[in-house]
Chain A
Amino acid sequence: MAAVIRLSSVCRRGIKPLFYQSTLLVRPLAVPHKHQEQPYLLTARIHSSQNLQASSNSKAASLHWTAERMLSVLLLAMGPVAYFNPGPVIDYSLAAALTLHGHWGLGQVLTDYVHGDTKIKMANAALFLLSTITFTGLCYFNYNDVGICKAVALLWSK
């Protein structure tokens, strides 16, 4: 194919002799078929990331990634709000945002280090339980006790 000839002119560093051998092998052959009008090119299997949705059309992972970043920005904004406008609204919002940010963050840690279908399932179940308990505890604290903002203020005044 013309592209092979272009290869040698494009490459400034020079190709090792071995490469020349392999490109010659790679050059698609014009398959000699007696009544073929047009030689067809042999196809190559290439990992083309755009077409991966051929096997799984789910955008779930990508959307999850975006949601994680949006939550991070939201949590960042809650800091100053909690400082200047403490109260029950920000207390419960912080409880939710902190728990979810932690849940998703620990989820990534598990994905990185835990392998094997059963182990992954068990680890994620345990994480879900932990996050549920965490959120419950924080809401309980907000309702029955001083609340997150006041707690931080009291802790720091000591």
Chain B
Amino acid sequence: MALLLRTLGRQSVCLAKPQYSVLYRHVAPMGSTAKEEMNKFWDKNSRLNRPMSPHITIYKWSVPMMMSITHRGTGVGLSGAISAFAVAALVLPGSYPYYLDLIHSLSIGPFLTGLAKFGIAFPVSYHTYNGIRHLGWDMGKGFKIPEVYRTGYTVIGLSVITSIALLMI
């Protein structure tokens, strides 16, 4: 029965039409949620002390893969930076302009200042543009592989351009 449904689905047969309801008239749903199933997987495998199969170490990296983990990386990094800033605000005695002047007095030089600004601007830009790309996916758009690559390269290009533009102002 499952084989039948899978085969028909693979042929892009619309199973929702009334004439196909005969195929699942007598099906019964599983009694557990996805979360429960996932927990069972982890419980069993960690109990048996099984090693994890190689995955990211052996699978060929692709641009979409790298962009996805970069999105996560920039997100975690930016979150960490915001939290660090918040803790500093609570802990450090002086005011913000005081510390800015302190850094300014160190005469870091334009190149390193530019680098630092790029280090802030790029993660923000990339995460924002790729976030918009994600929202497109959430609306069901842009899933075809050429579209994934096209939007992906657009995000990278826009991020670089925006970051450099932000450096200039």
Contacts from A to B (Cβ < 8 Å): 3-4, 7, 10-12, 19, 22-23, 26, 41-48, 51-52, 54-56, 69, 72-73, 76, 79, 98-99, 102, 105-106, 109, 115-117, 130, 133-138, 140-141, 145-146, 151, 154-156, 158
Residues on A with beta carbons closer than 8 Å to the beta carbon of B89: 137-138, 140-141, 145
Contact of A10 with B132 in the complex, beta carbons under 8 Å: no
User: Which A residues touch B30, using CB under 8 A?
Assistant: 45, 47, 52, 55
Given that A43-B26, A52-B30, A137-B90 are known contacts, is A154 also in contact with B100, CB under 8 Å in the complex? yes
How many CB-defined contacts (below 8 Å) exist between A and B? 139
Within the complex, the shortest CB–CB distance from B9 to chain A, in Å, comes to 11
Contact B33 A102 (CB under 8 A): no
B33 touches A158 (CB 8 A): no
Query: By the criterion CB–CB under 8 Å, are B76 and A109 in contact?
Result: yes
Interface string of B139-169 (1 = CB under 8 A from A): 0000000000000000000000000001001
Secondary structure at the B interface, as helix, strand, loop or mixed, is: helix
Main secondary structure of the interface of A (DSSP, over half): helix
B135 in complex: contacting residue of A52, A69, A109, A146, CB < 8 Å: A69
Distance, CA A72 to CA B136, complexed state (A): 12
Find out whether the CB atom of B42 lies under 8 angstroms from the CB atom of A154: no
Closest Cβ neighbor of B5 among chain A residues:
A46
Distance (whole angstroms) from the CB of A153 to the closest CB of chain B: 11
Chain B: which residue is nearest A47 at the CB level?
A: B30
Q: How many residues of B contact A (CB 8 A)?
A: 55
Contact call A133/B86, Cβ cutoff below 8 A: yes
- Let me know if A3 and B132 touch, CB within 8 A: no
From known contacts A10-B13, A26-B1, A55-B31, infer whether A141 and B86 are also in contact, taking CB-CB under 8 Å. Answer: yes
Q: Using CB atoms, name the residue of chain A closest to B83.
A: A134
- Residues from chain B with a CB closer than 8 A to the CB of A134 are 82-83, 86-87
What's the least CB distance linking A141 to chain B, in Å?
4
Instruction: Choose among B1, B32, B85, B131 the residue with the greatest number of A CB atoms under 10 Å from its CB.
Output: B1
Q: Provide the residues of chain B in CB contact with A117, threshold 8 Å.
A: 39
A98 near B3: Cβ-Cβ < 8 Å: no
Distance of A131 Cα from B100 Cα, bound (Å): 25
Give Cα A124 to B105, complex, Å. Answer: 41
Q: Which A residues are CB-close (under 8 A) to B88?
A: 137
Given contacts A44-B1, A102-B79, contact A7 B97 (CB under 8 A): no
Enumerate chain A residues within 8 angstroms of B7, measured Cβ to Cβ: 7, 10-11
Additional 12 contacts, C-beta under 8 A, given A42-B26, A44-B27, A140-B90? A7-B7, A23-B3, A44-B26, A45-B27, A48-B29, A79-B128, A98-B82, A106-B79, A134-B86, A137-B89, A145-B89, A151-B96
Bound CA span A52–B32, Å? 8
The CA of A54 and the CA of B33, in the complex, are separated in Å by 10
